[in-house]
Amino acid sequence: DVKVTQSSRYLVKRTGEKVFLECVQDMDHENMFWYRQDPGLGLRLIYFSYDVKMKEKGDIPEGYSVSREKKERFSLILESASTNQTSMYLCASSLSLFVTGGDNEQFFGPGTRLTVL
Amino acid sequence: GQNIDQPTEMTATEGAIVQINCTYQTSGFNGLFWYQQHAGEAPTFLSYNVLDGLEEKGRFSSFLSRSKGYSYLLLKELQMKDSASYLCAVNQAGTALIFGKGTTLSVSS
């Protein structure tokens, strides 16, 4: 079974703090993704990575950065946390972006509920 | 532009059948996923369709019409544990899945 883990289930930070959210997958997947999920807005893509050291902006990259130094690990960084970044953050991974069929299925981690005070 | 539409909320009773619709307009199409997400949990895979027609998997079935940009998820013999959000997601080659906002299904006894 694919396993995607996230460093924390719940996190409380103060405005202006630098926040690191870590995600690790154990199935040698090429792609990793960071989403945030808010009521009424659904899943919104922040960044994704299709290879080590490669990254692509998603729909809402402002205020965030990412790092992928190793294939299995994808980090989301909030350089200076703000209250509007309070949200559920979900990490996902998939085998490849360029395969057909269900092999582009994304497997999700359990999520990190971040509260910025 | 890219757009995926699903109803926001649906209600049904135990034992009933419910159909959750999804319409999409995307620049490319390489299949459609349905995910289930219980409150406070991660989305989990339910089904995948890339060809027109119905895919059946136990109590759940998913249908796709590519010409109409339309899919539905059919849940039969509803149980209380089926209360969850159901997410429709379009697969495009070379990029991340595009998710709809999800449909929250409430099943009552």
Residues 6+ apart with CB under 8 A from B13: B78, B107, B108, B109
A11-39: pLDDT as tens digits: 999 999 999 999 999 989 999 999 999 99
Q: Which residues of A touch B8 (CB under 8 A)?
A: 40
Residues 6+ apart with CB under 8 A from A97: A30, A31, A50, A104, B93, B94, B95, B96
Q: Which residues of B touch A43 (CB under 8 A)?
A: 43, 87, 99, 102
For chain B, the average pLDDT equals 94
For A96, which residue in chain B has the nearest alpha carbon? B94
For chain A, the average pLDDT equals 92
How far, in Å, CA of A58 to CA of A56, rounded?
A: 6
Nearest to B96 among A33, A41, A100 (CB): A33
A100–B31 C-beta distance less than 8 A: yes
A33–B101 C-beta distance less than 8 A: no
Reported confidence tier of residue A104, pLDDT bands at 50, 70, 90: confident
How far, in Å, CA of B92 to CA of B70, rounded?
A: 15
Nearest CA-CA partner of B31 in A49, A47, A99: A99
- Mean pLDDT check: name the lowest of A30-39, A73-82, B22-31, B65-74: B22-31
Pairing relation of β-strands B84-90 and B98-99? antiparallel
Residues 6+ apart with CB under 8 A from A49: A31, A32, A33, A55, A56, A66, A68, A74
Best mutation target among B24, B44, B91 (most A Cβ atoms within 10 Å) is: B91
B90/A contact by beta carbon, under 8 A: no
Reported confidence tier of residue A46, pLDDT bands at 50, 70, 90: very high
Hey, how many other C-beta atoms are within 10 angstroms of the C-beta on A116? Answer: 19
Using an 8 Å Cβ cutoff, are B2 and B89 in contact? no
How far, in Å, CA of A79 to CA of A94, rounded?
A: 26
B95/A contact by beta carbon, under 8 A: yes
Measured CA distances, B93 to A5, A42, B99 (Å): 26, 22, 14
DSSP state at residue B27: S
Question: What token pair was written down for A82?
Answer: 């703000």
Nearest to B45 among A4, A42, A105 (CB): A105
Best mutation target among A37, A54, A57 (most B Cβ atoms within 10 Å) is: A37
Burial of B77 (0-12, 13-18, 19+ CB in 10 A): exposed
A48/B contact by beta carbon, under 8 A: yes
A45–B96 C-beta distance less than 8 A: yes
* pLDDT value of residue A99: 63
Residue A104: phi and psi, rounded to 5, are -90, 10
Residues 6+ apart with CB under 8 A from B81: none
A24/B contact by beta carbon, under 8 A: no
DSSP state at residue B83: -
pLDDT > 90? residue B83: yes
